[in-house]
Amino acid sequence: MNWNSIQQQNRFWSMKIKRLKSLTRSVHNHIQRFRLGKITRFQRYFALSLCCVFLGLTLIQFPVLSTSVNIATFRQEQSDNLLAQGIVNPASGISHQREFRGVWVATVANIDWPSKSNLSVDQQKFELIAILNRMQELNLNALILQVRPNGDALYSSSIEPWSAWLTGSQGTPPNPYYDPLQFAIEEAHKRNIELHAWFNPYRARLRGNAPFAPNHMASRFPQYAYQYGDLVWMEPGAREVQDQTFNVIMDVVQRYDIDGIHLDDYFYPYPKDGIPFPDSQIYNAYRAAGGTLGLKDWRRQNVNLMIKRIHDGIKATKPYVKFGISPFGIYRPGAAPGTVGLDQYDSLYADVKLWIEQGWMDYLSPQLYWKIDPPQQSYPVLLDWWLQHNPQRRHVYTGNALYRIDNEWPVSELQRQVAISRQRLAQLSLGNIFFSMKIFRDNRQGVNDIFKSVIYPTPALVPPMPWLDNQPPQTPSDIQVSSGMISWSPSAETDIRSWAIYQQFSNGWQLVKVVDKNTTSIRVNPGSYAIRAVDRMGNESLEQVVSVS
């Protein structure tokens, strides 16, 4: 529903309400005249009859009264639809288009961070700060940080070993000691950037044959650790493996102030020609115990149960933590018209359509790593398919192949893809996630210049999720202006994440800056400004408007 139609509806209801008020005043005046005895009996009956006729005609035209429609419910539905589209408090005229602007930071094989596995702690911190500063410079607002690349941890864990991608040796902690995830969260939040912890649920080893640490899941459950090509993969159907993955994720949810949990497309491994996945023994045991599912359905059920369990566990522990999944971009060949490619339903055993239908995630990020124009895998055709299969109205943040501009695509391809995503705002296409950070880090092909000047020239808050929380925080108080400085009192609310600063221009209000929760003053140029509190879910308070001369 667009804003113009909402305004027209509001004017319609306003006219009807005014008519009722006028009618009420007329009835009141007639009653007063009855009491004063200033009209005849005939006039009394005539006036009452006339009032009844007018009232009946009004009721026919006023569906809120003539039917059982609940206007509060109607308004709440309108509000939820606007919130889901990122339109916050439009009645005030102070708003901006919300957008999720994410980037994946891969730690596996030192793709993005740290750049090498034997860096000093100071070098690791320096690189991470540089990533966050670059994100802030480009007005990106969400970091998807890989914290469990293959049964290991880039954070302090009593369950799994320190990652060799961090320290060079699995199980060896950083020296001097620090917690990279805690450090990343604190530094991200200072810059008003969300941090989503990215987990790989079943991969135990990417390549090589270095020994596993004693507390690695492949050491603890060797009977379920399969060599598959150059990978080691844990058995998704084993209860011990399922419990391990679930417990690891919930440990992070409980102990860290993360904004989201994120899974990518690796469930069962991508198939290798001529190499069957070696799960026949556990599948035969399932059948011997009375199981009736065929092999493929059994594999899908293993993944389905894990997805639901993770979703339910997160919501039972911290309901505000978002759960997002980034699947392979094609659900099934031919599902989207003219599309060919890998069948993830039958190859990765990921029934993503079921997960969406059941609402087992808060956002979906299909990896649409193809160009707009090719007929076999088309970016807009695939995006439209995912958007059309979203009955629970969850957010869709498309995954974009930023890495392809290195030697395949012009930067303009990414620019066009973001524009296509934005055109589908009404279908809840509310942002993009880019793979991967090293392209931004190194400004390859001058991509940063395009993003800063054209794609993301101004900041944006992430879209709110009203099904998780739609309660706005308290309005900032004690606003003062002095010598070009706007200051306000810090809020007593613990839920405040940041402050949004809007400025009024000739064409309306624009979000010009977002500052962290500990900042309570800002120097500005002359003009009119509005200050809003923003909570951890992106809900905004009512504004305080000031003029600076």
Query: 499-515, pLDDT tens digit by residue?
Result: 999 999 999 999 999 99
Query: Looking at residue 490, what is its pLDDT?
Result: 81
Quote the CA–CA distance of 245 and 363 in Å, as a whole number: 20
3-state secondary structure of 174: coil
Whole-angstrom Cα distance, residue 494 to residue 473? 10
What is residue 219's predicted lDDT score, i.e. its pLDDT? 98
What's the whole-number mean pLDDT along residues 519-527?
96
Percent of the chain with pLDDT over 70: 83
Region 134-152 average pLDDT: 98
Per-residue pLDDT at 55: 47
Backbone angles phi, psi at 405, to 5 degrees: -75, -10
Average pLDDT, the chain: 88
Confidence at 426, pLDDT banded by 50, 70, 90 = very high
Residues 6+ away with beta carbon under 8 Å from 100: 141, 142, 363, 395, 397, 430, 431, 432, 433, 462, 463
Q: Indicate if the pLDDT at residue 274 is higher than 80.
A: yes
Q: Looking at residues 397-405, what average pLDDT do you find?
A: 98
pLDDT the model gives residue 453 = 97
DSSP 323-337: EEE--BS-SSTTTST
CB 530 within 8 A of CB 513: no
Per-residue pLDDT, averaged over 31-44, amounts to: 44
Per-residue pLDDT for 34 more than 60? no
Q: Which residue has the tokens 């192949």?
A: 401
Tokens 């995503």 map to which residue?
A: 421
Q: What is the CA radius of gyration of the chain?
A: 28
Res 76 pLDDT > 90: no
Least confident of 15-29, 114-128, 137-151, 323-337: 15-29
Q: Average pLDDT, stretch 250-274?
A: 97
Task: Write the pLDDT tens digit of every residue in 174-230.
Answer: 999 999 999 999 999 999 999 999 999 999 999 888 999 999 999 999 999 999 999
What mean pLDDT comes out for the span 398-416? 96
Comparing CA positions, the residue from 483, 497, 481, 467 lying closest to residue 544 is 481
pLDDT tier, 18 (very low <50, low <70, confident <90, very high otherwise): very low
pLDDT band at 7 (very low <50, low <70, confident <90, very high): very low
**Predicted confidence band of residue 517 (pLDDT cuts 50, 70, 90):** very high
pLDDT of residue 375: 80
- Written in H, E and C, the secondary structure of 188-257 is HHHCCCEEEEEECCCEEECCCCCCCCCCCHHHHCHHHEEEECCEEEECCCCHHHHHHHHHHHHHHHHHCC
Q: Which tokens is 121 given?
A: 């702690």
Q: Looking at the predicted structure, is the pLDDT value of residue 28 above 90?
A: no
Indicate left, alpha or beta for 16 from its phi (over 0: left) and psi (-120 to 50: alpha).
alpha
Diameter of the chain by CA atoms?
Answer: 105
Tell me what the mean pLDDT of segment 284-291 comes to. Answer: 98
Decide if pLDDT at 64 tops 80: no
Is the pLDDT at 63 greater than 80? The verdict is no
Whether the pLDDT of residue 119 is over 50: the answer is yes
pLDDT digits (tens, 9 = 90+) for 447-487: 999 999 999 999 999 999 999 999 999 999 999 999 999 99
Question: Would you state the pLDDT for residue 491?
Answer: 76
Render pLDDT for 355-392 as a digit per residue (tens, 0 to 9).
999 999 999 999 999 999 978 899 999 999 999 999 99
Residue 271 has pLDDT above 80, yes or no: yes
Q: Can you spell out the DSSP letters for 495-535?
A: TEEEEEEEEEETTEEEEEEEEETT--EEE--SEEEEEEEEE
